[in-house]
Copies of this chain bind each other. A is one copy, B any other.
Amino acid sequence: MSPDSAPPVLIVGSMAFDDLQLPSTTATDVIGGAATYASLATSLFAPARIVAVVGDDFPESTLEDLRHRGINTDGVWRADGKTFRWSGRYSENLSSRKTLDTQLNVFADFRPVLPDAYRDSQFVLLANIHPALQLEVLDQVTGPRYVAADTMNFWIEKERPTLDRVLSRIDTLVINDEELRQLAGEHNLKKAARATRSLGPRRLIVKRGEYGAMLFDDHGLFFAPAYPLDEEIDPTGAGDTFAGALLGTLASQGDLSPQALRRALLTASSVASFCVEDVGTRRLQTISSEDATARLDSLQALVSLEL
């Protein structure tokens, strides 16, 4: 199925400027945010619809670029003020990062309002924002077929009751291993997964960075390796890229079978690896769905006994 003919994926999340201190370079005013990364990844496989807010400093040309990729930006609201800004420093080997500064700016007062044309979205990705806003988005879609959500340590700690309401209304939670452990209060991943799935999501996807991703569902456990890179430049947004590619693939396949989920997990891992190859969204903007397919083949070869 070509991206144009697949059902669109609704994505709510941040759009941002990032200031990145990376081992190989320092970059300021990098266009980032979960919705940006996720929608670029989705657009390889299906149309995307973004709900987000930007300030008056956000370049119209960026939105125009997104639209050229089949991403609907009618739900990107332009508010008076500055765009959300995140500043972080990565460790020498990229294995950890430290937030240096977060300026919510126009994001502080953001209430997601869906354009009417978005309400019929069947595939929904609630990227990492306040769980109350994730609920507001869910309240505005009429009958979603598949909803996945991300979250982060801050909401797990500070907004647990609201987050629990989100968990009760989604199909798939997509979080990293440390967030899972925090959410479940349990270090063992199998036990933590069981506890978390009992809160609502039938499926749980655990992102483990360079170690790949795991899917827990009614059919057991599935493991997708990460694609090993010769050069890792910037992991910012790789998790959002993963989630966007996952939703795009599922929408494109039009199939939510356990096998389809497993295939989508491998595709998501493949696409996420591209993200790390350059600063910000730069690499994502240059790849085609053919590139993604080729990398998927390489990734599958990693676990194949055939040569």
Binding site for B on A (CB under 8 A): 92-93, 187-191, 208, 211-212, 214, 219-223, 225, 228-232, 258-259, 262-263, 301-303, 305-307
Query: Could you say which residues of chain B place their CB within 8 Å of the CB of A223?
Result: 225, 302-303
Distance between Cα atoms of A232 and B92 in the complex (Å): 31
7 closest A-B pairs (Cβ-Cβ)? A303-B303, A211-B211, A93-B187, A223-B302, A223-B225, A262-B305, A190-B228
Whole-angstrom distance from the CB of A44 to the nearest CB of chain B?
20
Query: Could you say which residues of chain B place their CB within 8 Å of the CB of A303?
Result: 222-223, 225, 303
B228 near A189 with CB under 8 A, answer yes
Whole-angstrom distance from the CB of A254 to the nearest CB of chain B?
17
Query: Could you say which residues of chain B place their CB within 8 Å of the CB of A93?
Result: 187
Query: Could you say which residues of chain B place their CB within 8 Å of the CB of A305?
Result: 259, 262-263
Query: Could you say which residues of chain B place their CB within 8 Å of the CB of A231?
Result: 188
Query: Could you say which residues of chain B place their CB within 8 Å of the CB of A225?
Result: 223, 225, 303
With contacts A93-B187, A259-B305, A305-B262 known, is A228 near B221, CB below 8 A?
yes
Query: Could you say which residues of chain B place their CB within 8 Å of the CB of A220?
Result: 301, 307
B263 near A230 with CB under 8 A, answer no
A188 near B302 with CB under 8 A, answer no
Query: Could you say which residues of chain B place their CB within 8 Å of the CB of A301?
Result: 220
Query: With contacts A190-B230, A263-B305 known, what are 16 further pairs, Cβ within 8 A?
Result: A92-B187, A93-B187, A188-B231, A190-B228, A190-B229, A208-B211, A211-B211, A220-B301, A220-B307, A221-B228, A225-B225, A225-B303, A259-B305, A259-B306, A262-B305, A303-B303
Distance between Cα atoms of A189 and B229 in the complex (Å): 8
Whole-angstrom distance from the CB of A299 to the nearest CB of chain B?
9
Among B187, B211, B259, B302, point to the contact of A222 (Cβ < 8 A): B302
Whole-angstrom distance from the CB of A187 to the nearest CB of chain B?
4
A191 near B259 with CB under 8 A, answer no
Chain B residue nearest to A259 (CB atoms) is B305
B307 near A258 with CB under 8 A, answer yes
Whole-angstrom distance from the CB of A204 to the nearest CB of chain B?
13
Chain B residue nearest to A211 (CB atoms) is B211
Query: Could you say which residues of chain B place their CB within 8 Å of the CB of A258?
Result: 307
Distance between Cα atoms of A191 and B230 in the complex (Å): 7
Distance between Cα atoms of A208 and B222 in the complex (Å): 18
Distance between Cα atoms of A231 and B194 in the complex (Å): 13
Whole-angstrom distance from the CB of A96 to the nearest CB of chain B?
13
B307 near A259 with CB under 8 A, answer yes
Distance between Cα atoms of A220 and B259 in the complex (Å): 26
Among B188, B208, B263, point to the contact of A232 (Cβ < 8 A): B188
